[in-house]
Amino acid sequence: MGGGGKKAHESLVVAPAAAGVPEGLDGVSEADLEALEGPGAAAESLAAYDAALAKATAATHCGDEPAQAYQVVAEAVGEAKAELANAADAGLPPQLVAEHHKAISGLTKEYLGSLDPAELQTLAAAQGFEHPTLVGLNTAAGGQHPLVHWLDPAYGPESPSKLAIQAKAAERYGALAAGESVGGQTLADVQAAEAHLGTGPPPPGSWKASPADVVAAQAGLQDALVAFHPLGPTTADSGLGALVAAENHLATASCPELGDGLTAAQGAGKAAVDKAVTTLTPKLHGDVVALVDAAHAEGSLDTPEAKYLSHAQQLALLRASTAGAEREGLTALASERQDQVTKLGALDEAYQSQLSGGHIGLQSTAGLAEFASTAGSYFQARKSVASWAATANASAEVVALSGQAWGQNVPVEVLTKDFRSWAKAQKLTDLRAVATSMGLSSSPGASRAEVQNFIAARWDTSLDQQKIAATVAAKATAKPPPPPTAPKAAAAPKPSAPKPAPAPATATPAPPPSPSPKSFAAKHLAIVEALKAHQAIAADIPARMPASEVGSWSFGAAKAANLGGGHAKTLHAAPDGSMWMFKPDKTGGGARAHAEAAASEIFSKVGVPSVPVYSRSIGGQPGSIQPLVSGATNLSGDPKSWSQAEVDGIVRYHVAAWAVGDHDGNPQNIIRTPSGGMCPVDQGQAFKFYGSDRLDVGYHPNSSYGSVPVFHQAYQAAKSGQLAAGVTVRPEAALPTIKAFEQLPDASYRAMLGPVATEGVARGVHWVPAMRKAAQKRLGKTTVTNAEVAEEFLHTAVERKNGLRASFAKFYGGLGFGGAAKIEKVA
Amino acid sequence: MNRVFVLMARDPDTGCATAAAAVVGIAPGQAGCVSWVPYQDLGEGWRARLAATTVSLEEALASWAERADGVASDVVELEAPPSPDLRGAVEAALDEILAMGRP
């Protein structure tokens, strides 16, 4: 065994044995460990990684000036990251890559966290950060300063969270320049505080200006702001091009005579433009595209910037007022994304070449391990690209390669199914041999299903390779399986080469400093980690089960403290291991939960996809509970991006939403599911406005709060030509849903809504006064009992259900949509 | 007295409203203020919602909080960081989010 082997093994020894395997990563197998014991590229790279990290560790303890120490730490961390990447390329298992990266970030976080704000600001300014005194305002005791993250060399400059920190500092400077104060500070305060930090480089394209030129540039910007119209038809010019040009003219002016007055004028200009473009409307998206095309043609944006960044990121690059460090980060991000696309393209080719007619093309199990590895790498790369593909300017091109973020599991499931079918024709002994070569120990005792699943888990993250290996091992030994890394971790470490540093980083990876447990950051971390670590979040909308079954389940203790929020929520594991969210219904005393659960059940009955919601009590508190679905994204707020299938889905959703009186279906409340469907996720306002609502395109009771239902947006977009070419509102799309409602027996419908009616009346919810009035009118009485009000609610619901066909025929006819007549004619 | 809220958007990775989009502050007798998490694509829905809001931020926050389901969106009230002004409290709260390194 060479020196590299010793180093690699040493790293394994110190890997935290108790740590869970991060989601999506494979467990470390015996074969992995054995492979690293011998000399090889991975072991050599890990040895170099150890040395680099030891150098970084030594620098953090050397007592040098922060600037010198930081320089050494940053360089050494860069080397360690590069060696870790080499080791990963050479086959270091992902779990170990993650653990080693954790060791790097633990070290850097601890080191930077030990510096005081003034030191962080000086370091950041030296690294090109503009206005470092404007972040980390009142960092609480035990809290982390944002510059700790911005300076962290464990993460690249392209990290969106680093870009956000610089962007926020620049934005605050602009606000101060515009005469605002932030935390009691004025522009003069900040200029004084930063006088010793020096100024950043001038923006590209600086020009020599006289004071009069600057005044003229300010006036030009003012004119452009007045002429700027981000709303309205996408065919009309918003004036964005003129606005950016005017801002750039001012931002690039160089006028030493004006001194700080110039930076104040430029900052104020930036603040005004920031405010004007806060919300990228559909019209602005289109105008950014035009500006990007022009900038690309003239060479001021390169191809990765023009293709792979989002419109918000591109707009930042087009604006000369964007801080230099932010600009560099955006350029790095574009380049990184281009590399991801290139890698995915190569993997796509390699993966497709292994298929024959869309199916696994292998004649035997020879080459199966390589096939599985390629498929795993391909789907992982695909998922990475898909996470940003839809927001990229060249989204059509990138999505064609990566697929949509919400559709990642579909080809994976197809491959797994195909593999199972193909594997049936293979000998079990051959499959076992492949599984053994892929790290399944005790494979002779593994069943065919276990072996197949173990192999498929290399690409299909819904299968837990580690769990399968543990089950197989347990069968073999009839004892509980040990933790995956425990055997090696417990082994005596082999002698290691002398280290150049007193405290080798890999031997004692510094745990990242924990935020104060009461802070938002700590609570957020707990929730996100509970969710991400949990392997059983549904990958698509789960089928609705009978409420009685869910009612009988015993949900585990809350997995994480809730963040707070409008309704305190907790996460619970169901008996089948899936993750559910419970929302206590404090204000409605259970009435709201019943309404949401009933709406969800009705949606399910009429074929409109929805996340199943059930009324439940947990810990004596009434509320609602629902399974969580990962991998889904929100419906875009831009009607132009909606497909015909989505608009048809919106039409069907409208029928169901009207039936249950839900007027809160804005795009934020609609998700695109992993399998590509569209699904409303929040019927918390179901029935709220019953009795006082109208089926009217102008009726949206939440519009004052910025919430217009997605169906009304679709109708308005259709009328004003804002849907994509060829996409229309087809009233006949509503027919299947209307028919499904008509087929629901009245008695069943009343039974579903019974608890909504009785609990609603008992709790005096929002719809009760309207229903009381309606009952009085219908029954011809001046006073009615609660039972009569509840009955009126049920009567209204059934009447509405049975009148959907006539109501929607009239509604669509009134809007002038072709096809409205079909609703009444087609059975 | 300053009150500070985080507007949360749905994160596809968690299936819940765990992505911080913005911090909003309100105080009696003052216009509210909003500070957005830069480059947070998941916050577009909140931006559109805020842009279309016609009532006071205080009234809108009450409605959003009442309607937030924790899955599609959420509104989380924080203890307002000490600051001489509302804007400072909002920005200090946003700093806590930025410092997490994973907005």
Dist CA A554 CA A572 (whole Å): 10
User: What is chain B's alpha carbon radius of gyration, rounded to the nearest angstrom?
Assistant: 13
**What is the band of A7 on the pLDDT scale with cuts at 50, 70, 90?**
very low
**What is the band of A539 on the pLDDT scale with cuts at 50, 70, 90?**
low
Is the pLDDT higher at A539 or at A229? Answer: A229
Beta-carbon pairs below 8 A across chains A and B: 257
Chain B environment of A599 (Cβ under 8 Å): none
Nearest to A520 among B50, B78, B102 (CB): B78
The model's pLDDT over A411-451, given as tens digits with 9 standing for 90+, comes to 888 899 999 999 999 999 999 999 988 888 777 888 899 99
The verdict on a CB contact (< 8 Å) between B20 and A524 is yes
Q: What pLDDT score does A116 carry?
A: 92
Q: Write down how long chain A is.
A: 827
Query: Would you tell me how many other CB atoms lie within 10 Å of the CB of residue A826?
Result: 12
The verdict on a CB contact (< 8 Å) between A527 and B52 is no
Closest CA of chain B from A167, distance in Å: 7
Look up residue A310 and give its amino acid: S
Interface test with A, best of B67, B76, B94 (most A CBs within 10 A): B67
What SS3 class is residue A404?
A: coil
Q: What pLDDT score does A536 carry?
A: 44
Nearest to B95 among A137, A162, A684 (CB): A137
**Residue A664: CB partners within 8 Å, gap ≥ 6?**
A682, A684, A685, A702, A707, A709, B67
Portion of chain A with pLDDT greater than 70, in percent: 87
Closest CA of chain B from A633, distance in Å: 6
Q: How far is residue A823 from each of residues A602, A649, B34, B37, measured CA to CA in Å?
A: 21, 16, 46, 46
Least confident of A298-307, A313-322, A499-508: A499-508
The verdict on a CB contact (< 8 Å) between B42 and A634 is yes
Chain B environment of A310 (Cβ under 8 Å): 39, 41
Dist CA A326 CA A345 (whole Å): 28
Residue A502 pLDDT exceeds 50: no
The verdict on a CB contact (< 8 Å) between B53 and A705 is yes
Chain A environment of B45 (Cβ under 8 Å): 634, 637, 666-668
Q: What pLDDT score does A444 carry?
A: 81
Residue B14 pLDDT exceeds 50: yes
Looking at A439-574, list the stretches that DSSP marks H as alpha helix, in order from N- to C-terminal side: 448-456, 465-477, 486-490, 520-533, 547-552
For the question of whether the overall pTM of this predicted structure is more than 0.90, the answer is: no
Secondary structure percentages of chain A, helix, strand, coil, to 5? 55, 5, 35
**What is the band of A34 on the pLDDT scale with cuts at 50, 70, 90?**
low
Is the pLDDT higher at A142 or at A484? Answer: A142
Dist CA A102 CA A751 (whole Å): 55
**What is the band of A317 on the pLDDT scale with cuts at 50, 70, 90?**
very high
Asked whether the beta carbons of B98 and A136 are under 8 A apart, the reply is: no
Mean pLDDT along residues A778-803 = 96
Least confident of A239-253, A311-325, B4-18: B4-18
Give the residue on A whose Cα is nearest the Cα of B102.
A161
Residue A490 pLDDT exceeds 60: no
| DSSP string for A750-806 | HHHHHHHHHHHHHHT-TTHHHHHHHHHHHHT-S---HHHHHHHHHHHHHHHHHTHHH
The model's pLDDT over A570-612, given as tens digits with 9 standing for 90+, comes to 888 888 778 888 988 877 778 999 999 999 999 999 989 888 9
Mean pLDDT along residues B7-27 = 91
Look up residue A823 and give its amino acid: I
**What is the band of A563 on the pLDDT scale with cuts at 50, 70, 90?**
low
Least confident of A112-121, A522-531, A611-620, A702-711: A522-531
The model's pLDDT over A703-745, given as tens digits with 9 standing for 90+, comes to 888 888 999 999 999 998 889 889 999 999 999 999 999 999 9
Q: What pLDDT score does A92 carry?
A: 76
Nearest to B14 among A175, A185, A630 (CB): A630
Q: How many domains, chain B? A: 1
**What is the band of A551 on the pLDDT scale with cuts at 50, 70, 90?**
confident
The model's pLDDT over A619-657, given as tens digits with 9 standing for 90+, comes to 888 999 998 887 777 888 888 889 888 899 999 999 999
Chain A environment of B68 (Cβ under 8 Å): 565-567
**What is the band of A152 on the pLDDT scale with cuts at 50, 70, 90?**
very high
Chain A environment of B76 (Cβ under 8 Å): 520, 563-565
Portion of chain A with pLDDT greater than 90, in percent: 55
The verdict on a CB contact (< 8 Å) between A182 and B87 is yes
The verdict on a CB contact (< 8 Å) between A164 and B103 is yes
Query: Would you tell me how many other CB atoms lie within 10 Å of the CB of residue B58?
Result: 14
Residue A566 pLDDT exceeds 70: no
Residue A535 pLDDT exceeds 80: no
Residue A83 pLDDT exceeds 90: yes
Interface test with B, best of A278, A626, A682 (most B CBs within 10 A): A682
Q: Determine which helix (DSSP H) or strand (DSSP E) holds A196, and give its type and residue range.
A: none
Residue A381 pLDDT exceeds 60: yes
The residue segments making up the domain with residue B47 are 3-99
The model's pLDDT over A706-716, given as tens digits with 9 standing for 90+, comes to 888 999 999 99
Q: Using the structure block, give the residue that is written with the tokens 């806060």.
A: A278
Closest CA of chain B from A135, distance in Å: 7
If we measure between CA atoms, which residue out of A512, A596, A575, A630 comes closest to residue A111? Answer: A512
Chain A environment of B54 (Cβ under 8 Å): 703-704, 706
The model's pLDDT over A184-196, given as tens digits with 9 standing for 90+, comes to 899 999 999 998 8
Chain A environment of B19 (Cβ under 8 Å): none
Give the residue on B whose Cα is nearest the Cα of A142.
B96
Asked whether the beta carbons of A659 and A605 are under 8 A apart, the reply is: no
Q: What pLDDT score does A494 carry?
A: 37
The verdict on a CB contact (< 8 Å) between B45 and A634 is yes
What SS3 class is residue A614?
A: strand
Mean pLDDT along residues A72-95 = 87
Exposure pattern of A776-794 as b/e (b: 16+ CB <10 Å)? beeeeeeebeeebbbbbbb
Chain B environment of A182 (Cβ under 8 Å): 85, 87-88, 91
Structure tokens at A428: 């079990």
Beta strand pairing call for A355-356 and A207-208: unpaired
If we measure between CA atoms, which residue out of A213, A212, A199 comes closest to residue A260? Answer: A199
Q: What pLDDT score does A790 carry?
A: 97
Look up residue A751 and give its amino acid: A
The verdict on a CB contact (< 8 Å) between A144 and B94 is no
Exposure pattern of A656-690 as b/e (b: 16+ CB <10 Å)? bbbbbbbbbbbbbbbbbbbbbbbbbbbbbbbbbbb
Q: Determine which helix (DSSP H) or strand (DSSP E) holds A316, and give its type and residue range.
A: helix A311-318
Exposure pattern of A398-419 as b/e (b: 16+ CB <10 Å)? bbeebbbbbbbbbbbbebbeeb
Asked whether the beta carbons of A438 and A372 are under 8 A apart, the reply is: yes
**What is the band of A291 on the pLDDT scale with cuts at 50, 70, 90?**
very high
Asked whether the beta carbons of A640 and A234 are under 8 A apart, the reply is: yes
Q: SS in 3 state form for chain B?
A: CCEEEEEEEEECCCCEEEEEEEEEEECCCCCCEEEECCCCHHHHHHHHHHHHECCCHHHHHHHHHHHCCCCCEEEEEECCCCCCCHHHHHHHHHHHHHHCCCC
